[in-house]
Amino acid sequence: MNTVLQEWISEQLVRDEMLWKGAYASQMMFLRDRVQFLIGAGLPFGESANLARVISTHRSKSIDLPVVRLDRPDLGISFVMRDNFYDWKLTVLSTRPIDADLAGLFFTEPPSEPEYTGDELHSVYFEGFPPELIRGYWTQNKCQWSASIGGDHAFWATLFLCMRSIGALPDRRYHTRESHRRELAEARTA
């Protein structure tokens, strides 16, 4: 399976009596409208709008949900993700280390007593993920890692910090008249 997210959404039918229908719709809009365009930063609109691909599915609350992959070969990074209404699972595959302070967003290192606490990165929790796309913790390999993230805000912040770490999101700065003219002139000659 390798279907554009919007096409996959259009083919789904979630019945009105499904209690989690609203959460499903919110998740799809978040993936399509927020996540896709964050990862597509710097790309033309048409490329960003088709960046998210459904590579697999899983079920939660009797609703089919996507496992989504977003590839940015120009940046040397890919993201694989899914949400089951309880948490996000994410795998980052990058050619460069992600050097960002992620510790407050999810567990960045393995548990010291997994027999007591469990291990959020055990494959059983990565519903729908192809097994070869599940990695270890960020502290073990800052280029290729997986995470369990609780909530949309922490998930989006994680993606934002990854994109900032690889230089895909420049600093927000006000232009001067001169810097604006220079940027416009450079864009015309490119």
pLDDT tens for residues 7-27? Answer: 999 999 999 999 999 999 999
**Among 126, 101, 164, which Cα is nearest to 135's?**
126
pLDDT grade, residue 172 (50/70/90)?
confident
pLDDT grade, residue 105 (50/70/90)?
very high
Q: What is the pLDDT of residue 173?
A: 86
| Residue ranges making up the domain that contains 115 | 3-189
Q: Look at the chain and report how many structural domains it folds into.
A: 1
Read off the amino acid at residue 149: I
pLDDT tens for residues 42-87? Answer: 999 999 999 999 999 999 999 999 999 999 999 999 999 999 999 9
Pairing between β-strand 88-94 and β-strand 3-4 as defined by DSSP bridges: unpaired
